[in-house]
Structure formats: C-alpha cells, structure tokens
C-alpha cells in the first residue's frame, strides 16, 4: 500500500470501488473530513491515481487492489488493512457492476456475477470491516444501493435491480445485528449520476426518458451522492440506522402524470 499520513484524524475509511465515480467522490469528501482513505478497487492503477490526487490535495490516502467478487482477495485486503492500521472505522461499499439485457434472455453467468459483486461483495466486506470495528465499539457502514433496487428503472435490470434490492435487505439485517457494537449500517440509493458506469450504460434515449421522469429534471452529481454518504458516516448520524436514503431529485416520490 502506498500512503501518506499528513492529515489523518486517526480514523480509517475503506471505500470499495473508490477509484472512480461515486466512490472517488466519497473518498474526496471523507479525506477532507480527516479520514485516512483506503481506496480498495479492482483497478489498482486507477486506485493509485485517485490516491495520488488526494495526497496532492494534502490528504491521507492509500491504494489497495481488491476484487470484491473474490472472497480471498477481500480477506487478504482486510488483513493488510488490519496489519497496517489496526482499524477500519468507516466502510463504504461502492464497488458495483451493471449489465442491461432483456429478462427472458438474461444470461445466468451475468446474473450470478452481478449478484456476486454487488451483494456478496458488500456482505463479505461488511463482515471483515465489522470485525475491525467491534473492538473499537464504533463504526459506520454505508452501502451504495440504487433506486433500481426500489423500482424497476426501465427494462433490462434483472440482475442489477435484484442485486440492489438485496443490498437494501442486507443493510437492514446488518444494521440490526451490528448496532449493539456501536456500528450503524445504512444505504444510499442514488438516482442517475453521470459516472464512467452510466456513460457506458445509458443511451441518449434512456437519458432523455429518465430525465423526464425526475421532478428536478436532471441527473445527480457524484458530490450530491457523496454528501449523503458523508452524513451517514458522521458522528452526527449516530441514531440513524438501517435506513435507505434516496438521493434522486424526487424520482421515487413521483407517481402518475406528466411533470
Ligand atoms: N452512476 C449511477 O447512476 C448510479 C446510480 C445508482 C447506484 N449506483 C451505484 O453506485 C456505485 C458506484 O457506481 P459508479 O457509477 O460510480 O460506478 P463506476 O463504474 O463509475 O465505478 C465503479 C468502481 O468500482 C470498481 N469495481 C468494479 N468491480 C469491482 C470489483 N469486483 N472489485 C472492486 N472494485 C470494483 C471499478 O474499478 C470502479 O473504480 C455502484 O454500486 C453503483 O451500482 C450508481
């Protein structure tokens, strides 16, 4: 792990998928709040580049290669975090994948790999992080779900929507079981955000239709999602546990009728 420790507040925040998109912005906000950021990402070069950017801003950050689809990779990563820091105060499960294909033809291997990254990966990272949090009797876990786990967002999200619904159920289960240890677990459910993921996934037609269905008539920004995560990770959110916080410009609030 490459690291600097210039502005660490003594707490460590591990962000899976922290090299890009929403995870990178969460890292930036938590780094500014004084956390030492561990960017745990499949793409080591991208994680190193993001960590270097935070270091250039005077923050404390490390890059760690982790594949959340692989239990051994997760175990090795958290073992390294345990040895190096002796703690993990915040875990943000942001690593996620999505493939949009029709339900009737949805390939089993893609369904299973999506569940493996989005759900099993969040569960396993949560277990390892909790084991480091329990001795300190303080911890914050934030799972990045999606509005697609609460509504069917267009067609094609057989794996993605199901996985995010499962992330929401997982969040509630973890919240109930971990709060006796001083650990809160919550989920943020973003609406659409312009990131490397959606640049590939969202066609122009889909963007137009999605934007029309959002009362605020725009995509969210990574900063708007990260603000919600930063709040849930804060000391101030000490009585918030097991919730799903949509950050979606009113998308879920809207029913029938044109807007
Ligand atoms: N962008 C959106 O509109 C949107 C909306 C709702 C929810 N989300 C969720 O937010 C999270 C972040 O999405 P994003 O748009 O920033 O994605 P992104 O694709 O832009 O970034 C995801 C990051 O996760 C990493 N990653 C992918 N697979 C991994 C694995 N197996 N192990 C470790 N790291 C892995 C990638 O290398 C990348 O750095 C995801 O869970 C996604 O489902 C995104």
Query: Per-residue pLDDT tens for 158-173?
Result: 999 999 999 999 999 9
Residue (of 143, 191, 193) closest to 168 by Cα position: 143
pLDDT at 3 (0 to 100): 46
CB distance 69 to ligand 1 below 6 Å: yes
Share of the chain above pLDDT 70, in %: 97
Q: Would you please indicate which residues are annotated as catalytic (active-site) residues?
A: 160
Residue 96 CA to ligand 1 center (angstroms) comes to 4
Confirm if 160 and 98 have CB atoms less than 8 A apart: yes
d(CA 52, CA 67) in angstroms, rounded, equals 20
Residue 172 CA to ligand 1 center (angstroms) comes to 21
Average pLDDT, integer, range 150-154: 93
Average pLDDT, integer, range 191-197: 95
218: three-class secondary structure by DSSP: coil
**pLDDT at position 60 over 90:** yes
d(CA 8, CA 122) in angstroms, rounded, equals 25
pLDDT interval class at 1 (50, 70, 90): low
What integer best gives the mean pLDDT of the chain? 95
Atom of ligand 1 nearest to the CA of 145: 7
Confirm if 115 and 68 have CB atoms less than 8 A apart: no
CB distance 174 to ligand 1 below 6 Å: no
- Which residues partner with 91 through β-bridges? 14, 141
**pLDDT at position 249 over 60:** yes
**Cα Rg for the chain, rounded, in angstroms?**
18
**Test site for ligand 1: of 195, 201, 249, 252, most ligand atoms within 8 A of the Cβ:** 195
d(CA 235, CA 224) in angstroms, rounded, equals 19
Task: Report which protein residue has its CA nearest ligand 1's atom 24.
Answer: 17
Kindly report the pTM of this predicted structure. Answer: 0.97
Task: Report which protein residue has its CA nearest ligand 1's atom 17.
Answer: 197
d(CA 166, CA 67) in angstroms, rounded, equals 20
CB distance 150 to ligand 1 below 6 Å: no
Confirm if 64 and 77 have CB atoms less than 8 A apart: yes
Atom of ligand 1 nearest to the CA of 93: 41
């Amino acid at each position: 792990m490459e690291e600097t420790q210039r502005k660490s507040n003594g707490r460590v925040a591990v962000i899976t998928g922290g090299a890009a998109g929403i995870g990178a912005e969460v890292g930036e906000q938590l780094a500014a709040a004084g956390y030492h950021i561990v960017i745990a990402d499949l793409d080591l070069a991208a994680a190193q580049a993001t960590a270097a950017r935070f270091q250039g801003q005077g923050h404390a950050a490390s890059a760690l290669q982790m594949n959340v689809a692989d239990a051994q990779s997760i175990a090795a990563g958290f073992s390294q975090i345990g040895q190096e820091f002796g703690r993990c105060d915040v875990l943000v499960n942001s690593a996620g994948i999505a493939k949009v294909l029709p339900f009737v033809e949805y390939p089993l291997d893609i369904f299973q790999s999506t569940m493996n990254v989005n759900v099993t990966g969040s569960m396993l990272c949560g277990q390892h992080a909790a084991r480091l949090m329990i001795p300190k009797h303080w911890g914050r876990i934030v799972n990045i779900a999606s509005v697609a786990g609460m509504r069917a967002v267009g067609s094609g999200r057989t794996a993605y929507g199901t996985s995010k619904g499962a992330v929401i159920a997982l969040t509630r289960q973890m919240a109930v079981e971990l709060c006796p240890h001083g650990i809160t677990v919550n989920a943020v459910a973003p609406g659409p955000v312009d990131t490397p993921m959606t640049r590939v996934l969202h066609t122009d037609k889909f963007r137009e239709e999605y934007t029309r269905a959002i009362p605020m008539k725009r995509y969210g920004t990574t900063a708007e999602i990260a603000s919600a995560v930063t709040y849930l990770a804060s000391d101030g959110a000490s009585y918030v546990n097991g919730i799903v916080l949509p950050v979606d410009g009113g998308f879920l609030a809207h029913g029938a009728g044109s807007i």
